[in-house]
Structures are given as structure tokens and as C-alpha cells.
Structure 1
Amino acid sequence: MSIDQIILFAIFAAIMGLMFLGPWRHDLVAFAGLMAAVLLGVVPKEQAFSGFGNPTTMVVALILVATAGLTRSGAVSSMARLLADRDRSVSRHIAVVGGVGGLLSGFMNNIAALAMLMPIDLQAAQKARRRAGLTLMPLAFATILGGMLTLIGTPPNLIVSGYRQQVLGEPYRMFDFLPVGSAVAVAGMVFIALIGWRLIPQSRQEGAGDAPERPRRYLARLVVTEASSLTDEPVSQIREQALKAGARLVGVIRHGHALEGPLDDQTVTAGDVLLLRANPSALDEFRSASKLSFPDGRLEPRARKDSEGQSLIELLVPVGADIIGRSAQSFGLVNRYDSVLIGMRRRGIALREALPRQEIVAGDLLLVLIPESRVEDVLSASGLLRLDGGSLPVQREGHMRTAIGLFVLAVLATSLGWVTMPIALGCVVIAYVLTGVLSINELYDHVDWPVIVLLGSMIPLGLALDSTGGTALIAGWIASLTQGYPAWAGLALLMVSTMFMSDILNNNATTIIAAPVGIRLAEQLQVEPDAFLMGVAVAAACAFLTPIGHQNNTLILGPGNYRFGDYWRMGLPLEIIVLVVSIPMLLIVWPL
């Protein structure tokens, strides 16, 4: 080995060790490794930041923004309402929710797909009085499997496609991953739904409190509009629909007066105001599903017009805040800041009457609907403090068709080869802003910057390992170990090695290292490289043994009450299934 190769192998070993031990975040470790490589001269200084301009890095960032547009428009939420059924068995629940999660992951970032479905799974577990740990890990694994269906489903596919373009002059197309990915996903899902979830340790789960801390509930009002699906519906039916969304109907107000008599026997009409006890998420979910409107902040509420993106924000009134001793009305919350006091809690009790006129005192919790462009104005003028995690972007269901149409058009244009994926997604993001699906102020909030830094740092390191002959050296080791055996044995060993690295490192970083190795190994075995590149993509995506190999595994660690050693119990047989199914499929679809 040359000195440069020794230095790069040492840097990669240090990166893998630090990521495995976890003293620092993965993006900092990767960036430190890049800086060390530049200072030691193994990465040219003019190429140090080339990874941040790489198309793969841009695609990952743009996918997250495009996914946020689908979420903000309510497109994903409207699909997910059908998934929570307390009467389903665990296997059926996993098959339904995991199947939808897998399909979503094929056309959006699989991390975002899990983030969408995880609250639904937690809510379903709570309603069914079932431990959430039984279904969260299967859901996470299902979204990882689903990401293998298309080019944009998971970053390893994008990285492998980008590397193929650099080496062979042509990237993979949108659905080139589908034949192998669908076979692996179906086989994996059958195992997860029927057997896998039973392997999750359960003794520690009992009484462990899988459900997250109960969110704060407010007494809030929603206005029935002409377009609402609840118009002329009986209150009894509305009550059931509210409960499904996690809200409780406590009253109906008409012309400023509460309806008297048995509510369930009456019907609501346009202009009525529903009084609900709900947390912010359930309130917006019920509003979006039923096409209701937030109130305009007047004493006798009317429907508020949605002129721009808005957020429901929980605010704490600290001692000395400028708003203390004043009401929302006297402060000018509506007139000056176009914001509405939706709910109010004092000493743990949700206040009900005349919220605009309630005198605000220190310690109150306020739920306020604020246009995104006015958030900082409200906070600076009032002295209120935003609660950590207490901000919820309001769904804009009026833009649902636009968001879905733009995204489908981008997928179609990429599939037909009209434009490349970065260009298609870039146009989608611009169109989202122009059509109001997303505001320009929130674009960068939806980018997972640690992942971007990780990719931008690891790409130059991977290229340096290849240019110095390091990947060819690794390929030679694998070729020597499989000498005398069929070429598929080398493919199998490459996939096993990639899976191992992905479980202890990170699927993105692993793909950057393993893709050049796959090319060099194919060259030494004198076979076509596509099966090896596809094998790297499949193996790198299938990180099921630890909570650090894939971000989806990390997301469920706390809510599922898992330990580090819980993942391999279901993950190890799943990885074996992936190998058994994928290797023959690779040889059939991509002959050597």
C-alpha cells in the first residue's frame, strides 16, 4: 500500500470508529475527516468542497423540500387517515401501515415517510392499547425496504446512480431499481408482518410507557364553512369524526350562543362554531379533514382567510413580558399582527370563555395562529417565549392537488428522460413557492443539514480513495478471497461487507465507499458492473442491525423504548432474507 492509501484507510477507520462509538454527531465526524484528509494532502484542497456541489447532495436536499410540500398540503395526511384502525391485528396493522410506508418511501425520502407515519402508528397503538414498540420497528424497516423501489427512494440509490454516470457515462433511470427492489421489499414485508415483529423483546416493554408524553390540550374553536363536509351533519356523527382525529367535541355555538338541549340530536350549519378539546396536531388534523376554518379572532368568530402559510405556535408568558396585564384584543394581536389566539391554558387548566378579552398573566400558555412572516414580530413585541417543539405548520389542503400534480410531473419527466432529477426537483421547489404550497421563509427549514454535511464531506473522501487506488485494493482482496469461485460469490461477499459497514457506519457514507469497490471488483472479474452497483445500493440501504446504521432506526429508538441490542433480533434474519432474494434477482435482471 502507498502512503496515501494508508492515510485514507486510517481516516476512514477513525471515522467509522467515532461514528460507532458516538461521542460526536456523524456530520461533525465526517467533516473533521475531510479536513484531516486535506491537511494531510490526500484530498486536493481545490476539491475539498466539491461534494457540496455534487448532484447527489442537491437531490437529497431537494427531495426533503419536495416532501415537505406534500406534507404541508395535507396530501400525505389525507392518505394516512385510513390507516389507524384499532380492530386490526398486529400483523394486519404492520402489513397495511408498513405497505403504505413502503410505497410512500419509493417516491419520497424514506426518512420523511417514517416521520409522517410514526405519529399515526403511535396513535393507533394508544387506541388499541398495544405497545408501540411492537410496530414501530417493523414500520421503520418497511420504509427502508420501500426506499429501494425507485431512484429517489433512498440516498444510496442516488449515490450509486451518480457514480455510474461518472464512470460509465449514464445514470440509472427512475425505475431501474424496481425489479430487484420490489422483490426484496415484498419478501421483507412478508417476514416482518408474519414473523419479524414477534422477535422484538417484549418483557421490557410492559409498563414501559411506550406512548410519548401526552401533548397539551386546549379548548379551541373551528368555524363550519359552506365547503365543509360537516355542513348539515348531525352532531353525533361529527363527535365520532372528531374522536378519530384525537379531538373531543364539547359544544356548538350559533350566533354567539351555545346550542341548548341534547347536542347529538341537532345538526350543524354553515357559520356554526365548534368548540373542541384537542392538542394542536389533532386540531389541525380535524380541521383539514373536515374542511373547517380557524376563527378570525373576533368575539363572534367568522372563518379566517388563508392568505399565506401559517403555524400554530405554543407560547409561554414569562415574568416581565410586555403582554402581561393586557388581552389579545387590547394588544392588537389580530389588527396589528394578523394573528389569532386559538387556545389558552392557566395553571394546567384550559380556558374556555371570551379568549380575546382574557387578561394575560405570567405563566399562561398561549396557542396562537401566526402567519409565518409575522412570527418574529409577535415574539419581539410581546416578550413571549416559544416552547421547544411547540410549533406546527398548518396544513394548506387547498394546495393539495397542486402539490401532488407538480411532484408527479417531476417524477414523470425524470422517468421519461426529459430532465435530470436535480433539475426536475429544483423546478418543483420553485413552483411550490410560486403557487403558495410552501413559503420562501420555510424552504431551508426542511433540509436535513447534518445529512447534507455528511454527504458533502464523504464524497471527496470516497473519490480520493478511488483515485489513489484504495478501492481497487479492496476489490483485489475480495477477488482473491473468492478466487476459483463463480463471479456471484464475489458479489455476495461485496454485499455482506457493505451491509456490515452500513450497520456500523451510515448508509450514505458506506455507499460512497462501496460503489467504487463494486466497479473495480467487476473489472477484475471481467464482468458487467451493474449487478455489483445495484448490489451495493441494496446492501447499503439494508442497515437493520443497529440504531445508527439508518436514521429511521434512530428515530424510533426513544418512542419504541428500544435498546441498542434489540435491532439485530429482527434485523439479522431480515438481512439474510435480503441477500437470499436479491442475489438471484440481480443475476437475472442485470446479467454478468
Structure 2
Amino acid sequence: MNHDQSIIFAILTVTLALFAWGRWRYDIVALTAMTAVLLFGLVTPNEAFAGFGHTAVITVAAVLIISQALKNAGVVDVVASYLLPHTGNAIIHIALLTALVTFFSAFMNNVGALALLLPVAIATAKEHGRSPAMVLMPLAFGSILGGMSTMIGTPPNIIIANYRADITGTAFSMFDFSPIGSVIAVIGVTFITLIGWRLIPKKRFEENQPEKLFEVSSYLTEAKVMPESPLIGLAVNEVEDLQINDIGIVGVARGHYFALNTNPNYKLKENDILILRGDPLTLQSKFADSHLEFQTATGKTFNNLTEGDLALTECVITATSPLVGRDVSYLRRRTANSVAVIGLAQEGSVVRKRLRNNTFQAGDVLLLQYQKGLINDMLTGLNLLPLAERGIQIGQHRRVLIALAIFIGAIILGAINILPMAGAFILAILVYSIMGFLPGKDVYRDVDWPIIILLGGMIPVGRALESTGATELVASSIVSITEGLPIYMVLTLILVTTMFLSDIINNAATALVMAPISVGIANQLGVNIDPFLMAVAIGASCAFLTPIGHQSNTLVMGPGGYQFGDYWRMGLPLEIIITLISVPLILIVWPL
């Protein structure tokens, strides 16, 4: 091992550790790795920044924008409107939702497809008296399975397709992934529908009925300041400082006046109505001598406050939300005190302590009180996913058909090599914009910029692995260790290793790291590189063991009330099934 190889291995080790640690955002980790390989002279400045103009990066961004156009056209809504009325039976309910998200994830961003169907899944579960936990994990897993079926279904497939072009001069085409990916998707959905959902802990079904995620009366309480109360004349922050950390004053009502986020210096007056956050029993014991008249949050006063300009909504914090890693004070500043955090659920449990002491995480569910008319802009600006039923909005079928025709036309242009796929998608985006499917202000709204930065930052790291000979060194070591084993065993090792990495770090980063290693192994063995690249593509998309391996898993964690350890119960047998069926399929479709 030479000096440059030692450096790149050290950089890669630290990078993977930071990805797994999760305290730094993955785009920051990627930029740090890119800067490191540049500083140590492992790549030139041009090579360091060339990743941001790489075809794979452009294609991923274009797919995200096209997904927004298809969503705006109402494509998913139209199909869902025909299928979802038939969800009376639990198995049919799970099957339809999972199959629907699987299908759409093959042709649009899988996280976007999940986001569209998440409110519908919760609403239909509530309608039939089922726990969201029964349908949301199958929905998330279905979105991941669907992405394997086409080149544009998931970033790892796009990365692998374009990496093949870098090596051989020809990329994998749009449907080269379909013979294997579609079979995996069908078998995976069948397993999830018949067996998989039954492996979710039963207590999740009991604890997380749709109406029980946030029971406002259980932790939001009203109290009227009586004439003899010693709190009269005290500022809000003085009252809070007298109490323990799990009590907070959310707002103060006085006559027709109501402050969502009360000025901490506001002095309490007789007959003020305090909106208190905390367990009612704790509140009453702590304020026992304060001469407050307690009511539940479902009392008359609270209802009067919310009937006019105020409303409540539940929403999920997405992985790209600026709230991740921030606290309530940041939300207050960001929304100019127009939104109050009434409740927070993390990993399915309602947080009943002082919310200002909590840091928001991706997958958290927020209960927000807001001024009507501001919610849409607020949710968009903060990348929050509302859990309220959107309703199936059936647009004009002609509009849906036009949107589909544009998309199919772009695929055909790319498939017959009139335009490269990235160019065909950019053309489709231009047409969508001209025809009004993509308003100018929304064109870049759904681009997952951290993923774009991740790809642009990690591509030069992959090149440094190759240019220093590190990939050949790793490949030689693996070939030496597996000497005498049949090729299918080596292929299985690549697949399982990629699966493992994808469960703990970002799947796109996994593909970027494993692609050159797999090609190196194939070259050392003197066999076709395609089966090994396909193994990496499949493995990178199989993040079923943890909620952190894929954004889809993270998004359903809060609404489903899942715990970290719930995912492997259905995910592990699913990954075993995928391994058993994919290796033979790869060798049949892509012979050595």
C-alpha cells in the first residue's frame, strides 16, 4: 500500500464513519471528503468539481423536477381514486397501497411517491379503524422496491448506469434494470402483503390508532387566572421559571385577544386564560396554590380560539427540512411567531416535556397551531409533509394524459438515442414549464439539494479511489480471500456488503463507493462487469433494516409510531428473499 492509497483509505474510513454517525448532514460529509481529496492532491481542482456537472447528477435533479410535474398534473390522484375505495379488507388495503406506491416509484422519485400517498394511507386507515402502523411501513418498503425497476427509479440506479458509461462508453438503458427489479418488486410486494406486515410488533397497532397519535387534551390544558391568583403581575417567563421543565405556557387569551407565542415579558392579568402544555395532573399539582381554574383543551374557550383564524395540523419533518437539528426557537424566528408547536412525537411517542429542550429530527411529527391562510407557504418553506388527508383531487383526465405523454416521449427519445436521457428529461421539463405543469417558482422546489451535493461531492472521492489504485487493491484482496469460491458466491458477497452499507449510510454514497470496487473485482476475475454493477444497484436500494437507511423509512417512523428496532423484523426476511432471488436472476439476465 503506497502513501496515496493510505490517505484515500483514511479519508474513506472517516467519511463512512461520519455517514453512519449521522450527526453531520450527509451533504456536509460529502463536501468534507471532496475537500480532503483535493487538499491531499489526490484529484485536480477540475476533477474535484466536475462531479457537479456529471450526467448522473443532472439526471437525478431532472427526475426530481419531473416528479413534481407529474404530481401537479394529478397522475397519482387519478389512479388512486379508482383503487382506494376497495380497501375494506386489511390485506387488500395493504396490497393496493403497496402496489400503487411501488408502481409510481418506478417512474418518479420514490420519496415523492411516498409523500403523495402517505396522507391517503393514514386517512383510509382511519376510515376503516386501522392503525397507521399496519400500512405505513409496507408503504415505505414498497416505494423502495419500486425504485429498483427502472434507471430513474432511484439515485443508485442512475449512478450505476452512468458509471457503466464511464467505463464502457455505454450506459445502462432505462429498462435494463426491469427484468430483475420488477421481479424483485412483485415478489417483495407479495411478501409484504401476505406475511411482512404481520411481523410488525402488534403493540404498534394497539398504541398508534390514528386518533391517538396526538390527543390534544392529554397534554394541552387551559387555566383561567382567578382574581386571588399570586401569578397576577408576574411575567410569563417568571411563571415558567417557577415550574419544572415539563410545563410551558403556549399562549394567553384575554377577551378577543390571543397570542400564539406569548411575549415572555407579558405580565399576567386577572381572567387571563393560559394555554398550558404538559400533563394535566402535573400541571394541577405544580399550580395547586396558584388559584387557577383548569379546563381541558377541548373546553369551550379553546374551541372558540380555533374556530376563527386558528387551526391545528399534523406534519412530518422531512430529511431535507431546515428544522432538522434545530429547536422551537428557530421555528418561531423562521415563521415570525405565526406558528406554535403544540406537540411533538419522536419515534412514535408524544414528547411531554418542555419542547424548547428538544432538537427536531427527520421523521418527527409536529402538532402545529397556525393562522389560517399561512399553512401552505409555511409547509412548503419548511419542507414539512402534512398528514391531513389531501383528498383525491381528480383533475382533468386530458391534463393527466398530456403529462404522461410528455414523460413517455422523453423516455422514448432517450431510449432510441436521439438525446441522452438527461437531455431528454431536461427537454420534458421545459415543455412542462411552458404548458403550466411547473410554475416558475416551483421548478426547483422539490429538488433534493443535499442529495445533489452528496453526489457531486462523492464522485471525486470515487475517482480518487480509482486513480490511486485503491480499488484494485481492495479488489485483489477480495479475490484472494474468495479464491476457489464460485462466482455466484463472490457476487453474493458484493450484494450483501452493499446492502449492509446502505442500511447505515446513504444509498447513493454506497453506490458511489461500491461501484468501482465491484468493477475491480470483475476485472480481476476476468468476467463481465455488468452482473457486479447490477448487484451493487440492487444492494444499494435494499435499505430495509433501519429507519436511517432511506428517507422513506424515516418519513413513516413518526406517523406509524415505529421504534428503531421495528424495521428489521420485516426488513431482514425481505433482504434475505431479495438476495436469494436476485443472484440467480442477475446471472441469467447478465451472464458472465
State TM-score, norm by structure 1. 0.70
Question: Pairwise mapping of residues 420-435 of structure 1 onto structure 2 (< 5 A)?
Answer: 420-435=420-435
Residue 367 of structure 1: aligned partner: 373
Residue 465 of structure 1: aligned partner: 465
Bigger shift: residues 77-86 or 534-543: 77-86
Residue 305 of structure 2: aligned partner: 347
Residue 483 of structure 1: aligned partner: 483
Q: Partner letter of residue 21 of structure 1?
A: W
Counterpart Cα distance in 2 of 1:364 and 1:204: 30
Question: Pairwise mapping of residues 5-404 of structure 1 onto structure 2 (< 5 A)?
Answer: 5-85=5-85, 87-208=87-208, 210=210, 347-350=305-308, 365-367=371-373, 389=384, 397=396, 399-404=399-404
Counterpart Cα distance in 2 of 1:185 and 1:533: 19
Counterpart Cα distance in 2 of 1:386 and 1:477: 49
Question: Judging changes above 3 Å, is the alpha-carbon distance between structure 1 residues 39 and 433 closer, same or farther for their aligned structure 2 residues?
Answer: same
Conserved in 2, the CA contact under 8 Å of 1:63 and 1:109? yes
Conserved in 2, the CA contact under 8 Å of 1:399 and 1:436? no
Deviations 1:519-564 (CA, angstroms, capped at 9, x unpaired): 1111111111111111111111111111121111111121111122
Residue 588 of structure 1: aligned partner: 588
Counterpart Cα distance in 1 of 2:382 and 2:471: 49
Q: Partner letter of residue 180 of structure 1?
A: I
Q: Partner letter of residue 57 of structure 2?
A: T
Counterpart Cα distance in 2 of 1:364 and 1:501: 41
Counterpart Cα distance in 2 of 1:458 and 1:118: 31
Question: Judging changes above 3 Å, is the alpha-carbon distance between structure 1 residues 350 and 396 closer, same or farther for their aligned structure 2 residues?
Answer: farther
Q: Partner letter of residue 404 of structure 2?
A: I
Residue 509 of structure 1: aligned partner: 509
Residue 415 of structure 1: aligned partner: 415
Counterpart Cα distance in 2 of 1:369 and 1:527: 56
Conserved in 1, the CA contact under 8 Å of 2:86 and 2:92? no
Counterpart Cα distance in 2 of 1:16 and 1:102: 29
Residue 287 of structure 2: aligned partner: none
Counterpart Cα distance in 2 of 1:452 and 1:202: 39
Question: Judging changes above 3 Å, is the alpha-carbon distance between structure 1 residues 16 and 319 closer, same or farther for their aligned structure 2 residues?
Answer: closer
Counterpart Cα distance in 2 of 1:182 and 1:56: 22
Counterpart Cα distance in 1 of 2:577 and 2:122: 28
Residue 562 of structure 1: aligned partner: 562
Tell me by how many angstroms 1:209 deviates.
5.0
Counterpart Cα distance in 2 of 1:549 and 1:452: 17
Counterpart Cα distance in 2 of 1:522 and 1:480: 13
Question: Judging changes above 3 Å, is the alpha-carbon distance between structure 1 residues 401 and 212 closer, same or farther for their aligned structure 2 residues?
Answer: farther
Tell me by how many angstroms 1:214 deviates.
7.9
Matched position secondary structure for 1:367: coil
Counterpart Cα distance in 2 of 1:212 and 1:69: 35
Deviations 1:13-41 (CA, angstroms, capped at 9, x unpaired): 22222222221211112212211222222
Counterpart Cα distance in 2 of 1:38 and 1:435: 43
Q: Partner letter of residue 566 of structure 1?
A: D
Conserved in 1, the CA contact under 8 Å of 2:130 and 2:209? no
Tell me by how many angstroms 1:396 deviates.
6.7
Matched position secondary structure for 2:82: coil
Counterpart Cα distance in 2 of 1:563 and 1:215: 20
Compute the RMSD of aligned alpha carbons.
3.2
Conserved in 1, the CA contact under 8 Å of 2:133 and 2:208? no
Q: Which stretches of structure 1, 4 residues or more, deviate above 6 A after TM superposition?
A: 212-216, 316-320, 361-364, 385-388, 390-396
Tell me by how many angstroms 1:403 deviates.
1.6
Tell me by how many angstroms 1:440 deviates.
1.3
Tell me by how many angstroms 1:211 deviates.
5.8
Counterpart Cα distance in 1 of 2:190 and 2:160: 27
Counterpart Cα distance in 2 of 1:487 and 1:387: 49
Deviations 1:31-77 (CA, angstroms, capped at 9, x unpaired): 12211222222232222211110111111111111010111111211
Conserved in 2, the CA contact under 8 Å of 1:31 and 1:454? yes
Counterpart Cα distance in 2 of 1:496 and 1:540: 9
Tell me by how many angstroms 1:89 deviates.
2.9
Deviations 1:262-312 (CA, angstroms, capped at 9, x unpaired): xxxxxxxxxxxxxxxxxxxxxxxxxxxxxxxxxxxxxxxxxxxxxxxxxxx
Conserved in 2, the CA contact under 8 Å of 1:212 and 1:559? no
Residue 536 of structure 2: aligned partner: 536
Counterpart Cα distance in 1 of 2:212 and 2:35: 40
Question: Judging changes above 3 Å, is the alpha-carbon distance between structure 1 residues 26 and 153 closer, same or farther for their aligned structure 2 residues?
Answer: same
Counterpart Cα distance in 1 of 2:170 and 2:215: 50
Q: Partner letter of residue 550 of structure 2?
A: H
Counterpart Cα distance in 2 of 1:189 and 1:18: 33
Counterpart Cα distance in 2 of 1:74 and 1:487: 46
Q: Partner letter of residue 419 of structure 2?
A: V
Matched position secondary structure for 2:202: coil
Deviations 1:333-357 (CA, angstroms, capped at 9, x unpaired): xxxxxxxxxxxx9711158xxxxxx
Counterpart Cα distance in 1 of 2:381 and 2:42: 46
Residue 498 of structure 2: aligned partner: 498
Conserved in 1, the CA contact under 8 Å of 2:495 and 2:539? yes
Counterpart Cα distance in 2 of 1:215 and 1:417: 56
Tell me by how many angstroms 1:205 deviates.
4.4
Conserved in 2, the CA contact under 8 Å of 1:474 and 1:517? yes
Counterpart Cα distance in 1 of 2:482 and 2:503: 23
State TM-score, norm by structure 2. 0.70
Structure 1: segments with no counterpart, 5+ residues: 217-315, 321-344, 352-360, 380-384
Residue 309 of structure 1: aligned partner: none
Conserved in 2, the CA contact under 8 Å of 1:506 and 1:550? yes
Counterpart Cα distance in 2 of 1:168 and 1:477: 24
Tell me by how many angstroms 1:430 deviates.
0.7
Conserved in 2, the CA contact under 8 Å of 1:72 and 1:395? no
Matched position secondary structure for 1:107: coil
Counterpart Cα distance in 2 of 1:212 and 1:512: 42
Q: Partner letter of residue 305 of structure 2?
A: R
Q: Partner letter of residue 41 of structure 2?
A: G
Question: Judging changes above 3 Å, is the alpha-carbon distance between structure 1 residues 463 and 88 closer, same or farther for their aligned structure 2 residues?
Answer: farther
Counterpart Cα distance in 2 of 1:95 and 1:13: 41
Conserved in 2, the CA contact under 8 Å of 1:346 and 1:365? no
Question: Judging changes above 3 Å, is the alpha-carbon distance between structure 1 residues 591 and 211 closer, same or farther for their aligned structure 2 residues?
Answer: farther
Counterpart Cα distance in 1 of 2:385 and 2:497: 43
Tell me by how many angstroms 1:506 deviates.
1.3
Counterpart Cα distance in 2 of 1:40 and 1:492: 35
Q: Partner letter of residue 372 of structure 2?
A: L
Tell me by how many angstroms 1:508 deviates.
0.3
Matched position secondary structure for 1:157: helix
Question: Judging changes above 3 Å, is the alpha-carbon distance between structure 1 residues 563 and 524 closer, same or farther for their aligned structure 2 residues?
Answer: same
Counterpart Cα distance in 2 of 1:490 and 1:179: 21
Conserved in 2, the CA contact under 8 Å of 1:138 and 1:192? yes
Matched position secondary structure for 2:373: strand
Question: Judging changes above 3 Å, is the alpha-carbon distance between structure 1 residues 416 and 560 closer, same or farther for their aligned structure 2 residues?
Answer: same
Bigger shift: residues 46-55 or 9-18: 9-18
Question: Judging changes above 3 Å, is the alpha-carbon distance between structure 1 residues 364 and 450 closer, same or farther for their aligned structure 2 residues?
Answer: closer
Tell me by how many angstroms 1:208 deviates.
3.5
